[in-house]
Amino acid sequence: MAKLILSLLLLTVLYALPSKAGYSIVFPATGSVLEAGYIYNITWTLTKDTPTEPAIDVILTQGPPDNLMPLMTICKDIDPTALICQFSIPTTIKSAIDYALTIGKSTANVGYSSYFTIKGVGVLAQGNNGCPNMGGHKCTDPLSPCCGIDGYCGIGPGFCDKGCDPKFSYGGTCNAKPKRKRFSTETWIFSFGSGNLLAVGMGIEEVTDEDERIVNLIAGSE
């Protein structure tokens, strides 16, 4: 008999649902140009009535929208209701137009800034070879594939219709459609001397005698 391929999720299945970010960054904003050696106030607002975490980090990142790399922690473990964090820009930082900030701790609460420029060491790249407000990057994420009329990457009306620039869009086209994932689950009820155990699995083949023995061990029935 075929072996049980994937692990059983016993008793319950937890679903991770996307949540609205807890913070909206006010400054820096799109078009902001910061200079190395100066101090700036990073500011934000709360998007929820009360913070859902006691402390947050403010992190400087750089790179394409689907692969932002953390460079330095600007403020660590600060009160989210402070709504301000001082950024003393190192004199050694490189000039670039694709810096961005993240604010928060947990993934569900993290807020992202728009791309902004820092003038530091070296010459800034001439021209913008990407979607206008995306730090010189093309739209490389299939979940936000279209370079819309406002210069940002996204999907749906306002991004993939009139004004979309296919040159900077994912796959060189504005005809993108949202990708959907489909999951199938199967449920079994195993009977033991002490009662029943509910198990939920995904992509499961047949359950063998050995698999049932393993479930018995987990349930403490053997």
Task: Give the pLDDT of residue 118.
Answer: 97
| Residues 211 and 3 sit within 8 Å (Cβ to Cβ) | yes
How sure is the predictor about 21, in pLDDT bands with cuts at 50, 70 and 90? confident
Question: Of 135, 60, 123, whose CA–CA distance to 90 is shortest?
Answer: 60
The model's pTM: 0.67
Q: Which pLDDT belongs to residue 100?
A: 97
Cα(15)–Cα(12) distance, rounded to whole angstroms? 10
Name which residue leads in pLDDT, 208 or 56.
56
* 159 located within any domain: no
Contact (Cβ atoms closer than 8 angstroms) between residue 33 and residue 116: yes
pLDDT of residue 20: 59
Decide if 105 is inside a domain: yes
pLDDT digits (tens, 9 = 90+) for 31-43: 999 999 999 999 9
Q: State the pLDDT confidence band at 161, using cuts at 50, 70 and 90.
A: very high
Quote the Cα angle for 71-77-78, to 5°.
105
71 assigned to some structural domain: yes
Q: Is residue 99 part of a domain?
A: yes
Query: What pLDDT sits at residue 177?
Result: 61
Q: What is the DSSP letter of 215?
A: H
**Domain extent at residue 91:** 23-133
**Residue 65 belongs to some domain of the structure:** yes
Classify residue 176: in a domain, yes or no.
no
In a domain, 103, yes or no: yes
User: Which residue in this structure is represented by tokens 């033991």?
Assistant: 192
Q: Across the chain, what does the average pLDDT equal? A: 78
Query: What pLDDT band is residue 49 in, cutting at 50, 70 and 90?
Result: confident
Looking at residue 109, which CATH number applies to its domain?
A: 2.60.40.1930
| More confident: 121 or 128 | 121
CB 27 within 8 A of CB 219: no
Q: What is the number of domains present in the chain?
A: 1
pLDDT for position 50: 77
3-state secondary structure at position 9 = strand
Select from 2, 40, 63 the least CA-distant residue to 205.
2
Q: Measuring CA to CA, which residue among 48, 43, 46 is closest to residue 26?
A: 43
Query: Residue 121, Cα to own-chain centre: how many angstroms?
Result: 29
- 89 vs 123, more confident: 89
Structure tokens at 147: 């370079």
Confidence of residue 204 (pLDDT cuts 50, 70, 90): very low
**Distances from the Cα of 82 to the Cα of 41, 56, 69, angstroms:** 12, 10, 25
Structure confidence at residue 126 (pLDDT): 73
- Does the residue 172 lie in any domain? no
Instruction: Write the pLDDT tens digit of every residue in 67-106.
Output: 999 999 999 999 999 999 999 999 999 999 999 999 999 8
